[in-house]
Amino acid sequence: MHLGQFRHRCNRILSAVLVGLICFFPLSPTVSAQQRFDLWSTENGLPQNSVNDILQTRDGYLWLATFGGLVRFDGVRFVVFDRATAGIGSQRLRKLHEDRQGTLWVATEDGMFIRYKDGGFKTYGESDGLPRGNAARIEEDAEGRLLITWRGGVITRFDGERFVNLRSEDFGLQTHDNWWWTADSAGFRFFINGKVRTYPSWLVRRSHLRIRVPAMMSLSPLRMLVSSG
């Protein structure tokens, strides 16, 4: 990608972000006065007032990951799925993901991976090959395999049948804030969507694009730009 193309794409992303901010934070006092916010807490049915992740699935339900279980919200009431629910092995929930088939996946703080499909739950754990770690995120690669990143430098790849644990050193990379990357004479190498990709150093080293790589990877618009290659 040429520098001009890179600048153009950055400008398009920043413009989209600006439009989004204007939509969410209208400048007109009249419009602002019309905004209505509802507050829900344990008094309304939440198991805890702290929420670790939120996801809306394609059927319209809103799902919340808490340390008190998985919560489903239909806009009116909350339904809590905890360890009293058949198939759930942990209620210390961290991250949510809906795959391309519409299956809901939940990664936990204590190394478990929970599937919700066809109205039922199933929990995978150490006996299935998972490390006992704290989940940082769930992603999906181009082949539809799930990638669970655990804090501490392990990524588990799941193809629907088998879990394979990967480590950053297997790819000659280092772990920085739960991202795998390194820099060498060839440029910057990142582990993105299950593959190692190399990008020229000028993307982050040119004076007018001076960005720390860990900071860049934590910004989803720029990360999407890098991911799209």
What is the CATH number for 146?
Answer: 2.130.10.10
User: Same structural domain for residues 19 and 51?
Assistant: no
Residues 108 and 83 in one domain: yes
Same domain, 184 and 158: no
Residues 215, 140 share a domain: no
Q: What's the total number of domains in the chain?
A: 3
- SS3 state at 26: coil
- Quote the CA–CA distance of 78 and 226 in Å, as a whole number: 38
The CA distance from 58 to 54, in Å, is 13
pTM: 0.68
Residue 138 has pLDDT above 80, yes or no: yes
Judge whether residue 115 has pLDDT over 80. Answer: yes
- Same domain for 138 and 182: no
Asked if residue 50 and residue 162 are part of one domain, the reply reads yes
Mark whether 195 and 96 lie in a shared domain.
no
pLDDT digits (tens, 9 = 90+) for 148-205: 989 888 889 899 999 999 887 766 666 666 676 667 666 777 777 667 677 776 665 5
Beta partners for 96?
A: 106
User: Which tokens is 128 given?
Assistant: 């299935």
Q: Of 6-15, 62-71, 114-123, 177-186, where does mean pLDDT reach its minimum?
A: 6-15
Angstrom distance (rounded) from CA 82 to CA 72: 11
**7 Cβ contact partners less than 8 Å away, ≥ 6 residues apart:** none
Q: Answer yes or no: do 57 and 151 share one domain.
A: yes
Say yes or no: 111 and 189 in one domain: no
Chain centroid to Cα 228, Å, comes to: 17
Q: Are residues 156 and 65 in the same domain?
A: yes
Give yes or no: residues 177 and 80 share one domain.
no
10 and 83 assigned to the same domain = no
Q: What is the pLDDT of residue 155?
A: 87
Nearest to 55 by CA among 46, 65, 47: 65
Residue 212: what pLDDT?
44
Residue 86 structure tokens: 């058949």
CB 40 within 8 A of CB 78: yes
Residue 15, pLDDT above cutoff 80? no
| Domain span holding position 68 | 42-171
Share of the chain above pLDDT 70, in %: 58
